[in-house]
Amino acid sequence: MSLIAFDFDGTLSDSEMTVLLGEKLGVDDEMAEITERAMNNELSYAESLRSRADLITGLSEEDAEDAYSQVELRPDAAALIDRLREAGHTVAIFTGGFERGVQRALEADDTAVDMIVSNRLPIEDGELTGEVEGPLIEGTKDDQLEELAGELGVDMADTIAVGDGANDLPMLEVAGLAVGFEPKPAVEPSCDEVVSTMADLGTLLESRGMLAAAVDD
C-alpha cells in the first residue's frame, strides 16, 4: 500500500486560509500578494508566513473561527480521500496552513485523513497574538514525508505527493510520484504529472493501479 501526501491550500482546497483571516481585518489584498510571492518562490515560505501572521495580530478568536468555517474542500476531494483510505492507502495532509481550518473543512464534508501536519496561530486573551507556531514554518515537507514513510514501512518509491506551490517542491522532489495540482510555473518542472481537478487525479491514480476504476451508478 502507498502513502499519499496532499498539500491543502491551493490543492485539496481552493480556499486560502490566511486570506480568509485577513478579510476580517481588511488586509486580505496584502495577504494575497504575500502568498502569491511565496508560492512562486519569490519569498521564503517562513518569511511570508510570519508576515501574514503579523498582519492579523489582534483578530478575535471568534472571527478566526468564522474564517476557518469558510474553508472548503474542492469538489470530489472528500470522495477521493475516502476511496484512497478504503483501498488501504495512508492519506496525509502536510500544510503550512492552520489545523483548525483543515479540520473544519474535513468535518464539513464528513471525511478524515490519517495524519495532519500543520501550523497554528496562538491565541492569548481571546485574540491572535500575531505569532505562528508549528513544524512547517522552517521545517520542510520532504522531511515529513520521509519520516512518515519510515514509520509506516513504505518505500519512498511508493509515495505520492500532490501540491501546487513552492513550499511543496521538497516533497514533490523526493516522492515516488510528484503530481502538480494546477502548479505554479516554478513548480511544474518538478512534477511527473499535472492535474486540474480531483476527478482527474482519481483517474490518474486509477491508471497507476492505486484505485479500482470508479463504477457509475
Going 187 to 192 to 197 to 201, the CA torsion angle's sign is: negative
Instruction: Confirm whether 164 is a catalytic residue.
Output: no
* Beta strands at 123-124 and 115-119: parallel, antiparallel or unpaired: unpaired
Total residue length of the chain: 217
Instruction: Confirm whether 9 is a catalytic residue.
Output: yes
| Cβ neighbours of residue 165 closer than 8 Å, sequence gap 6 or more | 7, 10, 38, 39, 40, 183, 184, 187
The count of other CB atoms within 10 Å of the CB of residue 47 is: 13
Of the candidates 4, 208, 6, 27, the residue with the CA atom closest to the CA atom of residue 118:
6
Active-site positions?
A: 7, 9
